[in-house]
Structure 1
Amino acid sequence: MQVQRSEREIISNILKGSLGNLIEWFDWYVYASFAVYFAPSFFPSHDKTAELLSTAGVFAIGFLMRPLGSLILGKYADQHGRRAALTLSVLIMASGSLVIAITPSYAHIGIIAPIILVLARLFQGLSLGGEYGTSATYLSEMASRNHRGFYASFQYVTLISGQLIALGVQIILQMTLSTEQLIQWGWRIPFIIGALGAIIVLFLRLSMAESDQFASQKAKSKGSLKELMRYPKAVLTVVGLTLGGTIAFYTYTTYLQKFMINSVGLPTQSVTRINFLALLIFMILQPIAGAISDKIGRRPLLFWFGGLGTIFTIPIFVALQHATTSWEAFWLMLAGLVIVTGYTSINAIVKAEMFPTEIRALGVGLPYGLTVAIFGGTVEYLALYLRKINHENLFFIYVTVVIFISLLVYWRMTDTKTTSKLDK
């Protein structure tokens, strides 16, 4: 049974947990946001697309560690507590950011530079893999029963906030430093900011209350893979639920910035501003959609994403290819993000509602981490590769197909709001 907390206590703990999530995702997105500037420092090349392919490849490598992070930190969260796991994850992420910030360039230490970059990204991927499942679990367990969709949506509010702050830092640096300065040393600044911010969040997370559901549960097989395998349908549902959502999310929030620069031909600074404004609106939509799910259920929002994503992904990208102004690109990007909101706003609570307390963090995180590693982490690399071989339109078809597959999963699954294991 969940102990009744005041709304003030709930909000306080959710804010503490969410701020950590924000820092983790800031650190993660700084890499994507500043890749166009630091690529020459680690992967010198005369081919701009080749440079981006190299940095995108390292971005994907970070994703490959996420299932391992989900496994290790998910088990840790189910066995030793959500607070302990969340504190550890932000510490690991901060370490990775600091290492990237101080690593000399290829020109100074040769091949060792990209090797260090890869290792740092591996640790960041490990951290983020553990963060997702544990954070989704903590926010869902801490939320009051009738507002779970609303409170759990703050996982993506803070996730997007992390990206917005990364973009905000990028805009400020673009305004104050020359492109040459950004390439030479300016790109290191946001990694330092992330590492320092994580230290502050570390102390905040130490003061978070533990989830009452974790504190009161008495299961002996906490956080075990054997116990998780007792819920094969839930595990497979998480995979199918995540498949289209993660590809669409990373397509619109990470790859689209490079698409607008390389394929549409918009100036880098204009693209940064487009991304910032569109993501700001996207962030505001998350709690609104989460609150709606508390009223009408989770499935209608998933159908919104799956149905509209299947129909409009190709038209949006084809229109973007022919966009001639920044405003055209902005409205098209925003249209895609409004569609994706049907997934992002509620995916955390939907997954948390599928598993019992003793394996919730592992159950939410591991199948999600595996799916994101295989599909989400390869979005940029696949898109850039298809562009390089002059088959960019195949990427739009690919995104559409996987969203449709997820739509079939949404059609088959029950509405977790009415069958929630958070109530048991």
Structure 2
Amino acid sequence: MQNDLAKNYKTALDSLTVYRGILNKPLVKKLYTLLGRLCMVEEDFDALLNEYNDFFYHLSQVDDYRNFKHYVITCVLYDENAFTRIVAKQNFADIDTLLLQTVENDLENLHKVAMLSSREMKDIILGGYAAISSSEKSITEKLPEWNNGLSDTRDGLSEIYHSLDQEQCWAKCIAALAKFHRANGSGDFARYKGFVWEKNSEFYGLKGLESTDPIRLSDLVGYNAERQAVLDNTKFFLKGYPANNVLLYGDRGTGKSSTVKALLNEFFAQGLRIIEIPKKYLEDYPKIIRLIRNKPQKFILFVDDLTFEDSEESFTALKAVLEGGLESRPVNTVIYATSNRRHLVKEKFSERAGLSFGDNDEVRAADTLQEKLSLADRFGITVIFSSPDKKKYLEIVEVLASIRNIEIDAKTLHNEALMWEMEHNGRSPRTARQFIDWLEAKIKGIAVE
């Protein structure tokens, strides 16, 4: 009977052990429900039709549209389980044989399910019910289809995707999977480059970012010496040498945040991840480091636009982080912060003069002031990004124009660039880039006309 075939696929899913978490994936749940209905002796065709279309609807929502095999491959690569955690830290040769045998069995079952085609599913429906009417047969034949063919692969994953895509016995890919997890970690830390720490009514924890800023270091013009100091520290960190926390201080629009973001795209393949922590959540630092302490990746905890008011708890939290509390900073973690304020804390003239007369007036206000101003000194490295002078600003404009292949005489380019910065945000690399964006669009628009 054809419904015996449906039972075989359902049994393949029921047999998962190490990779059992994949059963909780939304699309796999839909397939499991559909297979369950197909296994029933007396099945309502309308209910079956509904489950089939519900499965296809959810399949059509995933990135690799209508390719069910690649959905399963993605589930395998990013599953967090005993095997993926162990091989991320241990040599493959040292893994327990019994665990490997269990994983091989899971991989074979997952491959079997991944290869389930819409044609086969239709045949199961058509051949499983003797009483199916001609109109129901016609409806079944017209049901939408998915494919299990090859497709383009994505950043840094082409090798392992290709192996699983081509191989007819996924158990043979176990060593390649171990290599992948050794290089990229497991679960969300293998799947995402960047994370943000979120706290709201719907989510609390590390949220992986599907899309991060694609900027590269080669896209950034000027400030090479400043950027090199950050780059060198990051390279030391990735190689396991002692590395410092870094404060990137300077004027707005000079590329401080872009420098940090560009590091992710340069060094992701070497195990670098970035976690952006909003300033108001700095008190959650202990929770964050417990999540990443024993991970094989290297993490930059990124705090953007860092400044403090008088009585913010986050000031105390950051101070404890930088000085090192009872719970030490893991060796796989550094803190990079950007700020427009050299001392990070707003300072008042009354504080500097020791002339505060409120109800909470301190006897030794100068000591408190010095504690506030010394916060920046607790970063091991401070890199200053100052606004460019006129000459440097025009040099940046020239380089950007050359990169974009904008053909314009130097005098006109300079005059337009200076006019732009006066009318907009002043001289900065950001202003230069905004000007070049406008100029390129203007020239291309004229050419089109």
Larger radius of gyration: 2
Please tell me the TM-score bracket, short chain as reference.
under 0.3
1 or 2 for the larger relative contact order (CA 8 Å, sep ≥6)? 1
TM-score scaled by length of structure 1: 0.24
TM-score scaled by length of structure 2: 0.23
Task: Kindly indicate which of the two structures has a greater share of residues assigned to strand.
Answer: 2
